[in-house]
Amino acid sequence: MRLPTGDSLLVQIMSAAFADSAARAGKHLVCRQGCTQCCHGAFALNSLDALRLRAGMDILRPTEPVLAAQIEVRARAWVAEHGAEFPGDAETGLLGDSKLDQERFEDFANEAACPALDAATGRCDVYVWRPMTCRAFGPPVRVGDGEAMAHCELCFTGAEAAEVLACEMMVPHDLEAELLEEIPMKEETVVAYALLG
């Protein structure tokens, strides 16, 4: 299955939105390579994010086989460590959609390092293909029903509410939803399983 052609536009919009928010935030946004707090804890990936990660791995395998192999080793180790508690199908990596599975996911692998993280450098080895959650982490973004605002707890320390609001990152949820409609599979997974294809 291929990525929808509009995914490159989504990625460009997200990059521009992050840069704009970062410029407005100035010293309040402390995100940088080596700060890896956001690289710990499992989170659900939609089909679009999973396809983008798989496409990235398809590029890395022939162009940077050593790096691709290192990422796959970390992903397999992650699955070996956390697979028994996986709230879904541990063979396919698809998250369950029952209420019990969703409740179990709340406490699942919350401290686990992302297998895409190179712990020695603090670098994401699939940064170009990273999920939308990763692209929006740090600046203030609307969450839930859109009334609440959230940002990385390391950022905006000591900032007034108005300062935080003035740095809001606009996330193109409508475009992402359109692209998801182009993908027949609607299941969710986590990064480790997406990296392994």
Q: Is the model's pLDDT at 1 over the cut of 90?
A: no
Reported as a single tens digit per residue, the pLDDT across 66-112 is 999 999 999 999 999 999 999 999 999 999 999 999 999 999 999 99
Q: Could you give the CA distance from residue 74 to residue 79 in angstroms, rounded to a whole number? A: 9
pLDDT number for residue 144: 79
Phi-psi group of 38: left, alpha or beta (phi > 0 → left; psi -120 to 50 → alpha; rest → beta): alpha
| pLDDT tens-place string over residues 130-177 | 999 999 999 999 987 777 889 999 999 999 999 999 999 999 999 999
Helix (H, G, I), strand (E, B) or coil at 159: coil
- Give pLDDT tens digits for 111-129: 999 999 999 999 999 999 9
The pLDDT value given to residue 7: 97
Q: pLDDT above 70 covers what percent of the chain?
A: 100
- Report DSSP letters for 122-187, one per residue: TEETTGGG--HHHHHSSS-EEETTTTEEE--TTSSTT--HHHHHTTPPP--HHHHHHHHHT-S---
